[in-house]
Amino acid sequence: MSEQNKKIIQELHQKDLTDYKYCSALLNMAISEKDDDLSCALKQAKEVQKIVAKQSRKKNSVDFANLYWKATLMLAPYYFEDFLYYMEKDRAPQKRFYMPRRHTLKVVVDDLQDLEDGKLDFYGLSMPPRVGKSTICIFFLAWVMGRRPNSHSAMSGHSGDLADGFYTEALNIMELDVAEDKTIYHFREVFPDTFMQKKSAEKREITLNDPDRFATLTCRGIDGTWTGAVDISSDGYLYVDDMVRDRKESLSPSRLEGRYQDYLNVLVDRKNDGTRELMVGTRWNVMDPLGRVEKENKENPRYRFRKIPALNEKNESNFVYDYGLGFSTEHYLRMKKRLDKNEWEAKFQQRPFIREGLLFPEDELLTYNGVLPPESGLIRKLVACDVAWGGGDSLSMPWGYEYDDGYIYIPDWIFNKGDKMVTQPIVVGKAMHHQPQMMHFEANNGGDEYADKIDELLQGQRYSCSISSSKAPNTMSKLAKIIQYAPDVKRRCKFLAANKRNSEYHDAMDELTMFVQIGKNDHDDAADGVTQLMMLANGGTVAKAEYVDAPY
């Protein structure tokens, strides 16, 4: 930006910008400087937009309204929300998509802006059915296509029929209404240098600007042809919407695993280095593709997972939109009464579930608010440790306080993947804090050596307690042992309420409540730790288990 133009802008800021003449002059300066100093130009346009929006409402001025749309048009290629505003500016208010839904979808729009600005690599979005999650994402892809018409993006879902709908809607956003021969949206005004090179309803492909072997956007079901036919460029997006077809599919572990492998081997395989991902879907099951990605990346700041439930914490609808659109609180409450609890929680509240085979469902576990009973009723403090030696396993060590009411309260839980140099000082520190009378370590795979070291370190702290170690019984499998003691765990153990847990306690409970007695568990550390605690409380005796045919 030239010094002269800087001076002009500075002088305009000294004027009364509620005066149309000066506000218009500032916007014209921003437009003229866009190619030389984009950041400054956008800042000036945003300021003008804010001023004229207020003046337009205050004075009911057509001139200020026109100036508002002029500023919004300048901003639309760079800001997703402004793109949404301008695209629908001539539609009747009740026919617009975004504005009636803005109070709920604003956070999603901001998330998508962060994704496009490179602050995120992956964005996962979960909301109830028919509230606009797919439509907002199609608008987003159209915006990206206008910004980079020579990039390659791809959209996929559980079927070709789903892809057909996305292809048609994306095309509708960028083209004319053929029936009335007029623009429904203003895509061509926002991106005047972008034009349709070719389109194919058969292949569900849209190619903008310069011809290329690969389309700007390809919409294709997971069961379609991908290898050799689809490329997702480093500046493009993989958009996955509803990989799981329905509730029935969500209840099949083998089908969920198949879906996840399809996602990795068919879709992710088409990405280039730098490709970003947008995944949308109902959170049916913790093991669905979106759940698997979240589990693997929950500590990654470049992965964001947005879940908006049907009902908020006040039991009110999050989706009461303007003009009678959306769904009322009463509607969702009726749905809640009709549906199975697990289906309601998954489909509408975005709390995924494993329905069959859960050994420790969260709603069957006893909890307390973090306040222990009076010390006069305390019988003893005891702790059991399932020692870990790498391989992704966690040292699992729940701390139990046994009271004369028969319950064992668990106020703390070490659940740590660190090696012994990390975990041993933590164990000693917790022991000094809780001061248990009994500590037991599973002796398998060097657990007895670990116990000896803890004993040595505690003696160095002048603290004594009964420390024991023993090998797991070889008369039954670990799974059989966990199944045998599960009823006692659910009947006697009281876990901290969710809002009282630290991160390790949360991780332990997540693993415990996902433990299945049929099928494969990635890890059993949480279940084994609490089972050993219960065995210790019961005197360490284990009855011989006998297998019978399952009733299901």
pLDDT in tens, 206-263: 999 987 889 999 999 888 888 888 999 999 999 999 888 777 777 676 778 888 899 9
Q: With bands split at pLDDT 50, 70 and 90, how would you rate the model's confidence at 501?
A: very high
Answer whether residue 4 shows pLDDT above 80.
yes
Q: Provide the pLDDT confidence category of residue 475 given band limits of 50, 70 and 90.
A: low
Average pLDDT over residues 388-393: 74
H-state helical runs in 14-132: 20-32, 38-59, 62-75, 80-87, 102-116
pLDDT of 542: 38
**Distance (Å, whole) CA 155 – CA 543:** 55
For residue 355, the model assigns a pLDDT of 54
Q: Region 58-75: what's the mean pLDDT?
A: 92
Work out the percent of the chain whose per-residue pLDDT is above 70: 93
Determine the average pLDDT of the residues in 480-492. Answer: 92
Q: Hey, which residues does 409 pair with through a beta bridge?
A: 401, 494
Residues 84 and 109 sit within 8 Å (Cβ to Cβ): yes
Query: For residues 525 and 444, is the Cβ–Cβ distance under 8 A?
Result: no
Higher-confidence residue of 428 and 472: namely 428
| Residue 467 scores a pLDDT above 70 | yes
Residue 180 has pLDDT above 70, yes or no: no
* pLDDT tens digit sequence for 124-145: 999 999 999 999 999 999 999 9
pLDDT-derived band at 438, boundaries 50, 70, 90: very high
Position 276 pLDDT exceeds 90? yes
Residue 366: band (very low, low, confident or very high) from pLDDT cuts 50, 70, 90:
very high
What is the average pLDDT across 143-149? 97
More confident call, 547 vs 439: 439
| Model pLDDT, residue 212 | 83
Q: pLDDT band for position 146 (50/70/90)?
A: very high
Mean pLDDT of the chain: 89
Phi-psi map region of 283: left, alpha, beta (phi>0 left; psi -120 to 50 alpha): beta
**Statement: residue 540 has pLDDT above 60:** no
pLDDT of residue 523: 84
Q: Check: CB of residue 121 under 8 Å from CB of residue 297.
A: no
Q: What are the tens digits of pLDDT across the range 72-130?
A: 999 999 999 999 999 999 999 999 999 999 999 999 999 999 999 999 999 999 999 99
Residue 547 has pLDDT above 50, yes or no: no
Phi, psi of 211 (to 5 degrees): -60, 145
- pLDDT for residue 179 is more than 70: no
pTM of the model: 0.69
Distance between CA 293 and CA 505 in Å, rounded? 21
Distance CA 282, CA 342 (A): 13
